[in-house]
Amino acid sequence: MTEDAATGAVTAVTDGPVLEITIDRPKANALDAAASRELSRLFAAFRDDGDLRVAILTGAGDRFFCAGWDLNAAAGGEEFEADYGEGGFGGFGELPGLLKPVICAVNGMAIGGGFEIVLAADLVVAADHARFWLPEASLGLVPDAASIRLPRILPPVLANEVLYAGRRLDASEALLLGMVNFLTDTADLMKEARSLAIQVAEAAPLSVAAASEIRDRTAHLSLPEAFKLLRSGELDAYEAMLASADAAEGPKAFTEGRAPRWQGS
């Protein structure tokens, strides 16, 4: 692995096509605005690096994935709507043009903004002791990103209970509700996350980008509207995939019984 950054709050290493980012802010891996801006910088660099295919985000230790907004920073005068960077709180949930998958490896409690980070991920691997909780309403705040994303994942009444009453979800519940891809022992968490990342990285990068673009651009549309957009020629990543050498390489490699050699073009 190659170390890319070490700020004392966030560390990043690359391992081939995979970028691994770790939030390391004792005691609870809570983020202030500066740490979130650093995450935004790292995820923007990941977006723009043609050699990187997948990112894994996790927390240091085995108790907290991320406890959300650092309330010590809040007590020191940092505003709730501070500048969290181009990607929003946590670095990637609002990052323009990010068509590469982010995997959250949830090593412990995901609280408040930490839970919102998990909701923004493309794939989630969780330790079997992980917990998910939104305490904002009890603090006079609102989990704004979760208020958008959670009702799209959970049944409305359950989403409301989590948002309004702070219902806590354990790892098993999160798995059953479709918020987590799979659970694992704490000791195997990063091994399993890396294995999943490699599976994704072995797919054609333009195909992954096209699928991500289609998902994002059609999420609010009816089926007829979605298919109209799909055939309109206005989806850049989709059109690039259709016209790519990789679109010919995949079927050719399959018929020849060999692994495809993706060019990303």
Clarify whether 116 is annotated catalytic.
Answer: yes
Q: Are residues 184 and 74 in the same domain?
A: yes
Q: Of the residues 154, 170, 201, which one is the last residue of a structural domain?
A: 201
Q: Quick one: 195 and 218 in the same domain? A: no
Q: Does the structure show a pLDDT above 90 at 49?
A: yes
In this prediction, residue 39 carries a pLDDT of 97
* Of 201, 219, 238, the domain-final residue: 201
Interatomic CA distance for residues 12 and 55, integer angstroms: 10
> What span, in angstroms and rounded, lies between the C-alpha atoms of 101 and 123?
7
Catalytic annotation on 239? no
Instruction: Evaluate whether residue 263 is within a structural domain.
Output: no
pLDDT, average across residues 31-57? 96
Q: Are residues 18 and 119 in the same domain?
A: yes
In a domain, 215, yes or no: yes
Specify whether 209 is located in the same domain as 114: no
Residue 7 banded pLDDT, cuts 50, 70, 90: low
CA atoms of 46 and 55, how far apart (whole Å): 8
> What does the alpha-carbon distance between residue 89 and residue 78 come to, in Å, rounded to a whole number?
14
pLDDT value at 87 more than 60: yes
Closest Cα partner for 57 from 198, 204, 257, 197? 197
- Are 163 and 179 within one domain? yes
Q: Which residue type, as a one-letter code, is found at position 26?
A: P
**Residue 123 pLDDT more than 60?**
yes
Q: What is the pLDDT, as a whole number, of residue 265?
A: 87
| 175 and 224 both lie in a single domain | no
Kindly report the three-state secondary structure assignment for every residue of the chain. Answer: CEEEEECCCEEEEEECCEEEEEECCCCCCCECHHHHHHHHHHHHHHHHCCCCCEEEEEECCCCEEECCECHHHHHCCCCCCCCCCCCCCCCCCCCCCCCCCEEEEECCEEECHHHHHHHHCCEEEEECCCEEECCHHHHCCCCHHHHHHHHHCCCHHHHHHHHHHCCCEEHHHHHHCCCCCEEECHHHHHHHHHHHHHHHHCCCHHHHHHHHHHHHHHCCCCHHHHHHHHCCCCCHHHHHHHCCHHHHHHHHHHHHCCCCCCCCC
**List 38, 116, 192, 213, catalytic entry:** 116
118 domain residue, yes or no: yes
Query: pLDDT digits over 176-221, tens only?
Result: 999 999 999 999 999 999 999 999 999 999 999 999 999 999 999 9
The count of domains in the chain is: 2
Q: Kindly state whether residues 210 and 194 are assigned to the same domain.
A: no
Section 39-52 average pLDDT: 97
User: Is residue 262 assigned to a domain?
Assistant: no
> Whole-angstrom Cα distance, residue 110 to residue 132?
5
- Is residue 264, in this structure, part of any structural domain at all? no
Do residues 176 and 159 share a domain? yes
User: What pLDDT digit, counting tens, does each position of 134-154 carry?
Assistant: 999 999 999 999 999 999 999
Query: Could you give the CA distance from residue 194 to residue 94 in angstroms, rounded to a whole number?
Result: 24
Residue 11 phi/psi, 5-degree rounding, is -120, 150
Which of 201, 227, 248 terminates a domain? The answer is 201
Q: Does residue 211 share a domain with residue 88?
A: no
Are 162 and 247 within one domain?
no
Same-domain check for residues 104 and 156? yes
CATH at 30: 3.90.226.10
Assess if residue 261 is contained within a domain.
Answer: no
Same domain assignment for residues 29 and 143: yes
Q: Per the domain annotation, does 265 fall within a domain? A: no
- Domain boundaries, position 56: 2-201
Average pLDDT along the chain: 94
Q: Report pLDDT for 74.
A: 73
Catalytic option among 136, 161, 225, 239: 136
CB-based burial label for 72 (10 Å; 0-12, 13-18, 19+): exposed
Question: What pLDDT does 241 receive?
Answer: 97
Beta pairing class for 10-15 and 18-23: antiparallel
Residue 81 has pLDDT above 80, yes or no: no
Residue 160 lies in a domain: yes
* Closest to 39 (Cα-Cα) out of 135, 117, 140, 105: 117
